[in-house]
A and B are shown apart, each in its own frame.
Chain A
Amino acid sequence: MAGAVMAEVSSTVRSLPAGADSQGAARTLAAPGRPLSQSRTPQGWLDLQRWRGSAALLPALLFLGAFFLLPLLGLLLRGFTEPQPGLGNYAQLFANAAYARVLFNTFAVATLVTLISVLLAFPLAWVITLVPRGWGRLVLNIVLLSMWTSLLARTYSWLVLLQGSGVINSLLMSLGLIDEPLEMVNNLTGVVIGMSYIMLPFIVLPLQATMQALDPMVLQAGAICGASPWVNFWRVFLPLCRPGLFSGGLMVFVMSLGYYVTPALLGGAQNMMLPEFIIQQVQSFLNWGLASAAAALLVLLTLVLFYLYLKLQPESPVGAGGK
C-alpha cells in the first residue's frame, strides 16, 4: 500500500510543470559548494540530491497521496469494474447522444463563463490598480466581501433578480421596454450570469496582482517611444498582464467545469452539466460505474487543459508578476 502511495507521489513529482523543474535546476546551480561526485548519481527525477531541501514537501505529498490520489484512483477504477468488468460504462457514455450533449453543455458554459468573467474582470482590476490607493482597496474589499458571502444566498439572490416576475423584468416592463418577461433564469442564460458573477473574484485577484506589479515606467517608455495609447495597450500592457489573465482564466475555467450549486439552482434540467449528471448517477441511481466513467472523463479533460496551459505559458505565473 505504502509502495503504491510512493509510486503515486513520485509520478506526480515527475509530472510537475517545466517551470518547477527549471527552478529546481536554478537552485542547484546556485549552490556553489556542490561536490562534483554528484554527477555520478542518476539523472532526472531520480537524482535525490536535486530534491534536497524539498523534504518539507513530503508531509503534504503524503497527505495528498493518501487522501486525494488514492481515493481518486479507487473511484476512477470503478468505471472499469462496475457493474461488470470492462469498458461497458465508457461505451454507454460515448454511444448515448444525451451524454455527449451534457458534456457539450459543460464545456460551452465553462468557456462562456471564462470569457465573460475575463471581460468584466479586466477593466475592474485595472480600475482597482489605477485609482488612489484607498479607493482601490475599497473596491477590492467589495469584491472580496462578495466572495465571502454565502454562495447559496448569492445564487438565490440571482433567482430573485432574474426570474420572470423578478426585479429586473418588473423594472423593464414598467418602463415599457419589454412586453413579455425576458427568460433569464432556469436556462443557460441564468447559469452563465450567475456563474460569471461568482467566478469574478477568482480572476480579478490574480489579474490585479499582476497589474499592480507592473512598472508604470514601462508604459511611459512605450509612450515616449511614440506608441499611441491604443498601441501601448495592445503591445505593452496586455502582454504584460498575460500571466494574470492565464492563471485567472484557467482557474475559472477548471472551476466552472466542476461547478454544481449554481447550475443546479439557476439552470433548467434540460441544460444539465456533467457534475449534475454525476450526482444523479451516484445519489439517485447508485450507478457508480457510469458516474465514475463520467468523472474520469472530467478529470482527464481537466488534465489535458492544464497541460495545454503549461505549454502555452512556460513562465511560472507567480514569478512573472512579481519581477
Chain B
Amino acid sequence: MVVKKGALVLLAAGMMMSSGWAAASSVNFVSWGGSTQEAQEKAWAEPFTASTGTAVVQDGPTDYGKLKAMVMSKNVQWDVVDVEADFALRAAAEGLLEPMDFSVIDKSKIDPRFVSDHGVGSFYFSFVLGFNKSKVKSGSPADWSALFDTKTYPGKRALYQWPSPGVLELALLADGVPADKLYPLDLDRAFKKLDTIKKDIVWWGSGAKSQQLLASGETTLGQFWNGRVYALQKDGAPVGVSWKQNLVMADFLVVPKGAKNKEAAMKFLAEASSAKGQAEFANLTAYAPINTDSVSQLDSSLAASLPTAHAADQITLDYAYWAKNGADIASRWNEWLVQ
C-alpha cells in the first residue's frame, strides 16, 4: 500500500523534474527537509537568487542511494546535495562527486575541518550529553561516562541508532580512552563497554524521535544533536545539557558528478559558505557556521548554545576514518546489535 503510494509520488516527481524544471539558469538543491532546509532556503537560496538571478529549486530529501543511481545512470537531476561528512568523503573516493572550484569558492575563511577537495561544509553540530532534569536526582551528569553509570542515573539512555560517527567514540571516551588516541577505533573495547548498558538503550533514528524521548522523560539522558536540545530548551522543556567532550560532526555540500548546472552550483556554494550565509543559517537553526568569520555575526542570545562557544571541550570525529572503514564497522555493528 504505502510502497505503491510512494512509487506514484516518485513517478510524478520524476516527470516534473524531467519536464524542464532543471532549466539552464537554475540550481537544484537537495537537503533533508524540515526546518533545516527552510533555513537553507532563506539564508542561502533567496539571497543567491536575488543577486544572481539564478533560481534555486528545492528538492529532497537527501538519499545516498538515489544520488549513486543518478550518477551511474548519467542522469543527474541534482546540482547541490547536503550530505553527512563521512559520506562526502566516501562518495568522493567512489568517484561520485565533482571537485570543488576554489577559484569561485573562498576557501581561506572556511575552518579546515570542514572542507575537502569534493565538498564544503554545510554546517557543523555536536553530539552533546542531554538529560531530563526531572529524571536526574543526583547532580547533573558531566560527561559521557554518566551514560554508563546506571547506579547514579537510573533509566533508559537514548543513542543514535545508525553505525556512523559518534556512539563508538563516546563509549571509548567513557571507558577512559584519551581523545587523541580514539583512532583507529578499538571496536572490541567499544562494544564491550556498550554491552554494559545494552538493555538500557533506546535507539533513535531521527531528530524528532530523539526530542520526544528526551522531553517526555522516556530516557533519562542520552546522546543528542545540540540543535535539537536547544529547541527543546527554548520550548521550556526540563532539559539540561553538558558540552563536555562534545563530539563534532558536520554536513557537507557536494556536487554530484555530471551535475547539469555545475558552474551555477559552484557559485551557490560560494554563497552558502560565505560568512554572511553561514551566520544567517546558524542564527536560524542553532547549528554552527563553518566559516570562521561568521562567529562575530552570530545572534548574541544564541551564541552560547552553539558548538562554537564550546571549542575547548570539542572532540572532532574522524570522518575520513569512517569514510574508509564505515562498511566494515557497520557489519560488525549489526552483528553486535542483534546478538
Check if B337 sits within 8 Å of A96, measured CB to CB: no
By beta carbon, the residue of chain A nearest B72 is A288
Q: Is B302 interfacial (CB 8 A cutoff)? A: no
Give the complex CA separation of A271 and B218 in angstroms.
Answer: 19
Q: Is A22 interfacial (CB 8 A cutoff)? A: no
Q: Is A272 interfacial (CB 8 A cutoff)? A: yes
Report B-chain residues with C-beta under 8 Å of the C-beta of A96: 331, 335
Which of A1-9, A98-106, A124-132, A233-241 binds B? A98-106
Instruction: Indicate which residue in A105, A265, A286 contacts B65 across the interface (CB closer than 8 Å).
Output: A286
Give the complex CA separation of A151 and B2 in angstroms.
Answer: 8
Give the complex CA separation of A270 and B63 in angstroms.
Answer: 24
Q: Is B321 interfacial (CB 8 A cutoff)? A: no
Check if B338 sits within 8 Å of A163, measured CB to CB: no
Q: Is B21 interfacial (CB 8 A cutoff)? A: no
Report A-chain residues with C-beta under 8 Å of the C-beta of B161: 269
Size bin of chain A's contact surface: 20 to 34
Instruction: Indicate which residue in A163, A186, A255, A284 contacts B64 across the interface (CB closer than 8 Å).
Output: A284
Give the complex CA separation of A96 and B186 in angstroms.
Answer: 21
Shortest CB-to-CB span from A282 to chain B, Å, is 4
Q: Is A277 interfacial (CB 8 A cutoff)? A: yes
Report A-chain residues with C-beta under 8 Å of the C-beta of B330: 280, 284-285
Give the complex CA separation of A186 and B1 in angstroms.
Answer: 24
Q: Is B217 interfacial (CB 8 A cutoff)? A: yes
Check if B216 sits within 8 Å of A165, measured CB to CB: yes
Instruction: Indicate which residue in A159, A165, A272 contacts B337 across the interface (CB closer than 8 Å).
Output: A272
Give the complex CA separation of A186 and B202 in angstroms.
Answer: 7
Instruction: Indicate which residue in B65, B217, B339 contacts A98 across the interface (CB closer than 8 Å).
Output: B339
Report A-chain residues with C-beta under 8 Å of the C-beta of B205: 264, 269
Check if B217 sits within 8 Å of A270, measured CB to CB: no
Report A-chain residues with C-beta under 8 Å of the C-beta of B217: 164-165
Check if B338 sits within 8 Å of A285, measured CB to CB: no
Check if B337 sits within 8 Å of A283, measured CB to CB: no
Give the complex CA separation of A287 and B326 in angstroms.
Answer: 11
Give the complex CA separation of A270 and B161 in angstroms.
Answer: 9
Check if B334 sits within 8 Å of A261, measured CB to CB: no
Shortest CB-to-CB span from B308 to chain A, Å, is 28
Report B-chain residues with C-beta under 8 Å of the C-beta of A165: 216-218
A residues 159-196 touching B (CB-CB < 8 Å): 159, 163-165, 186
Check if B338 sits within 8 Å of A286, measured CB to CB: no
Give the complex CA separation of A270 and B205 in angstroms.
Answer: 13
Report A-chain residues with C-beta under 8 Å of the C-beta of B334: 98-99, 102, 272, 277, 280
Give the complex CA separation of A287 and B334 in angstroms.
Answer: 14
Q: What string of 1s and 0s marks CB contacts (under 8 Å) between A135-179 and chain B?
A: 000000000000000010000000100011100000000000000
Check if A285 sits within 8 Å of B218, measured CB to CB: no
Report B-chain residues with C-beta under 8 Å of the C-beta of A88: none
Give the complex CA separation of A31 and B157 in angstroms.
Answer: 71
Shortest CB-to-CB span from B73 to chain A, Å, is 11
Check if A282 sits within 8 Å of B65, measured CB to CB: yes
Query: Which 7 A-B pairs rank lowest in CB-CB distance, beginning with the nearest?
Result: A98-B335, A269-B203, A101-B338, A269-B161, A282-B65, A283-B65, A98-B334
19 pairs from A and B in contact (CB 8 Å cutoff) = A98-B335, A98-B337, A159-B212, A163-B216, A164-B156, A164-B218, A186-B203, A260-B2, A268-B201, A269-B161, A270-B198, A272-B334, A280-B162, A283-B65, A284-B64, A284-B162, A284-B330, A286-B90, A287-B327
> Which B positions have Cβ atoms within 8 angstroms of A?
1-3, 63-65, 68, 90, 94, 156, 161-164, 198, 201-203, 205, 209, 212, 216-218, 326-327, 330-331, 334-339
> Which A positions have Cβ atoms within 8 angstroms of B?
96-99, 101-102, 105, 151, 159, 163-165, 186, 255, 258, 260-261, 264-265, 268-272, 277, 280, 282-288
Q: A101-B338, A186-B203, A261-B2 are in contact. List 10 more A-B contacts (CB 8 A).
A: A151-B2, A165-B218, A270-B203, A270-B337, A272-B337, A280-B162, A283-B63, A284-B64, A284-B163, A288-B68
